[in-house]
Amino acid sequence: TETTEVSEEVEMQDTSSKYLSEPLISDHFTADPSAHVFDGKIYIYPSHDVESDVPEDDLGAHFNMMDYHVYSMDSPSGTITDHGKVLGAEDVPWAKRQLWAPDAAEKDGKYYLYFPAKDEKDIFKIGVAVGESPIGPFTAQPEPIKGSYSIDPAVFADSDGSYYMYFGGIWGGQLQKYRNNKFDDKGAAPTDGLPADDEPALGPIVAKMSADMLQFAETPKEIKILDENGNPLLNGDNDRRFFEAAWIHKYQDKYYLSYSTGDTHFIAYATGDNPYGPFTYQGVVLNPVEGWTNHHSIVEVDGNWFIYYHDTQLSGKTHLRNIKVAPLQHLEDGSIQTINPIK
C-alpha cells in the first residue's frame, strides 16, 4: 500500500468561489470516484484509467480500463492510501473489456463491488464481486446480474435498510439500445435509438437489490426527470437531460439524484420524495471540468458533505483522468450551491 500527502487546502475553500483542489492520486490515472464511509473511514472506488492503443471514438472505446484499485482516506483533507488492485478483467469470467465506473456497498459486514464491463459480444452488463472487507479481495460472481445492462452502477443504501441500484448511460453506455429492459438495437452510431429531440429523454434505471445483494429483486424501472412544470425533460434539452453517472444521496429526507449531462458536461441534480422518483430538475452541482467526462459521487463525512469528482489536470487527455474532492454545500432551502472547478 502507498500513501500520498494531500493538500490541507481542500477543507478551507469556499464553494461559492472558484475551487482549486489537488489531484488525490498522481501515480495512477483514476476517474469516476464512488466514495462511501464504511466504519468511519472513507473508501473510494474509482475507475482505473490506462493508456491503450484503442483509438478515440464517440462510443468511448479509448476508455479501455481493465482493473480496479480501492483507496481510503481518514478525512477528505487527509492522506490517501492505495490498497492496490482488487479486481481485474481476468478474474471475471464474462467480462472481456472496458471495466468502467464501479461502486460498492456494505451490508451485514460484507462488501459488494459493482462494476460494468463489456461481454464477448461487446454488450455492457453489470457484475458484482463480494469481499469480507472494504478493500477486498473481491470474488466475482460467475455471471453478470440477471437483467442488468448499460453502465455506471450506483448502489444507494436507504435508511429503511433497502438497497437500490441506479444505472445507465447513453451513447457509449448503450442505454439507447434498450426500451422497457429489452434490447432493441437501432444502429451503431451513438445517437441511434435515442428519442427524437422533442420526446422525453431516457432516464436512468433503478432496481431494488435482493436481500443477498447479488441480483435485482424486481424488474428495473426507468426514472422520470421532470422540469419545473412537471413535464419530462426532453431529449433535445442537452443542458439538463440525463446522460450517465447517476448518484443518489439523501438530505433532510429528500432524495437527490445527481448525474452527468454528458455532451454538455454538467453534473446536474433533481430531487424527489422516494427512491423511484419522479425527480424534479433543480440545477447544477458541478460545472464542466477539464476533459470531456464529468462523473462524481456525493458523500457525508462527519456531518459535512463532499463531492468526489475527476478532471484531466495531470494528463490533459480526456481518457487519463485524476480524482479530486471538494466540499459541497446544501443551502437553507435545500438547494445545492453550484461548484465551479478551475479550468
* Positions that interact with ligand FUB (CB under 6 A): 31-32, 47, 60, 63, 100-101, 151-152, 169, 244-245, 293, 295
Pairing of strands 267-272, 279-286: antiparallel
Give min distance, CB of 295 to ligand FUB, in A.
4
Contacts with 277 (C-beta within 8 Å, 6 or more apart), sequence order? 203, 206, 223, 224, 225, 255, 257, 270
Question: Quick one: DSSP state of residue 216?
Answer: B
CA distances (Å), 180 to each of 66, 220, 241, in order?
30, 8, 19
**Is 32 one of the annotated active-site residues of the chain?**
yes
* Residue (of 301, 251, 249, 312) closest to 51 by Cα position: 312
Q: CB-wise, 7 or 315, nearer to ligand FUB?
A: 315
Listing DSSP states for 144-203 in one string gives PPTT--SS--EEEE-TTS-EEEEE--SGGG-GGGEETTEE----SSTTTTPPPTTSBPP-
Amino acid occupying residue 253: D
Query: Partners of 81 in the beta sheet?
Result: 3, 72
Catalytic residue among 103, 222, 244, 311: 244
Q: CB-wise, 11 or 67, nearer to ligand FUB?
A: 67
**Is 49 one of the annotated active-site residues of the chain?**
no
Q: CB-wise, 295 or 324, nearer to ligand FUB?
A: 295
* Residue (of 294, 297, 226) closest to 263 by Cα position: 294
Give min distance, CB of 336 to ligand FUB, in A.
20
CA distances (Å), 76 to each of 44, 98, 180, 322, in order?
11, 29, 40, 15
Rg from Cα positions in the chain: 18
Q: CB-wise, 32 or 290, nearer to ligand FUB?
A: 32
**Distance (Å, whole) CA 261 – CA 333:** 24
Q: CB-wise, 172 or 220, nearer to ligand FUB?
A: 172
Give min distance, CB of 49 to ligand FUB, in A.
7
Furthest C-alpha separation in the chain: 51
CA 331 to chain CA centroid, nearest Å: 23
Q: CB-wise, 101 or 128, nearer to ligand FUB?
A: 101
Catalytic site positions: 32, 244
